[in-house]
């Protein structure tokens, strides 16, 4: 549905496409690129001994596996520098802080992304809970080394 249709050409069309599928695909591509602002990726870790939740900000160019498939469901040790610490639930670390979406009101984000969460519960998809803020107690870490 979202694939390019029709004959492919090296020429650039000056007028926009009227095909709704092409327009939706273009909008999705722009949205994905806005979420990838910068070359960093935030990974969260729960159940720390201190009771905090961690936001680990990774530089994607230093990952041995850019798709991060080796980090899924693994147990790792992180050596790094804590760059932010939040001791109580009055503050949070935004996972959208580097994107244009960080300026959107929380109610609008809930409305937009709530539909994705509903898709998981109503249609049986395995979609994790969507979060854009990590409430305290939390720490943000820039890793020096990650090892098993």
Phi, psi (5° rounding) for residue 126? -90, 70
Spatial CA neighbour of 41 closest among 53, 57, 54? 57
CA distance 25 to 108: 22
| pLDDT per residue as tens digits for the range 31-75 | 777 666 678 888 899 888 889 999 999 888 888 777 777 777 778
Strands 77-86 and 92-94: unpaired
What confidence category does residue 2 fall into, taking pLDDT thresholds of 50, 70 and 90?
very low
Name the band, by pLDDT with cuts 50, 70 and 90, for residue 9.
very low
Contact 56, 48 (CB under 8 A): no
Q: In this predicted structure, what is the pLDDT of residue 24?
A: 78
Predicted pLDDT at 1: 40
pLDDT tens per residue across span 90-139: 999 988 887 767 777 777 777 777 766 676 666 666 766 778 889 999 99
pLDDT of residue 27: 77
Cα 104 to Cα 33, 107, 114, 126: the distances in Å are: 17, 8, 15, 26
pTM tops 0.75: no
How would DSSP label each residue in 31-95?
Answer: HHHHHT-SSEEEEEE---TTS-EEEEEEEGGG-SSTT-TTTTT---EEEEEEEEEE-STT-EEET
């Amino acid at each position: 549905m979202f694939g390019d249709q029709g004959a492919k050409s090296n020429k650039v069309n000056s007028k926009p496409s009227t095909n709704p599928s092409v327009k939706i695909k273009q909008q999705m591509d722009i949205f994905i690129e806005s979420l990838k602002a910068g070359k960093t990726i935030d990974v969260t870790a729960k159940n720390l001994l201190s009771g905090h939740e961690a936001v680990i900000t990774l530089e994607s160019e230093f990952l041995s596996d850019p798709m991060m498939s080796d980090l899924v469901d693994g147990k790792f040790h992180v050596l790094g520098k804590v760059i932010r610490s939040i001791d109580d639930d009055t503050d949070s670390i935004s996972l959208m802080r580097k994107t244009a979406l960080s300026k959107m009101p929380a109610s609008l984000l809930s409305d937009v992304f709530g539909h994705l969460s509903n898709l998981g519960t109503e249609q049986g998809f395995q979609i994790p809970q969507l979060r854009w803020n990590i409430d305290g107690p939390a720490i943000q870490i820039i890793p020096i080394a990650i090892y098993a």
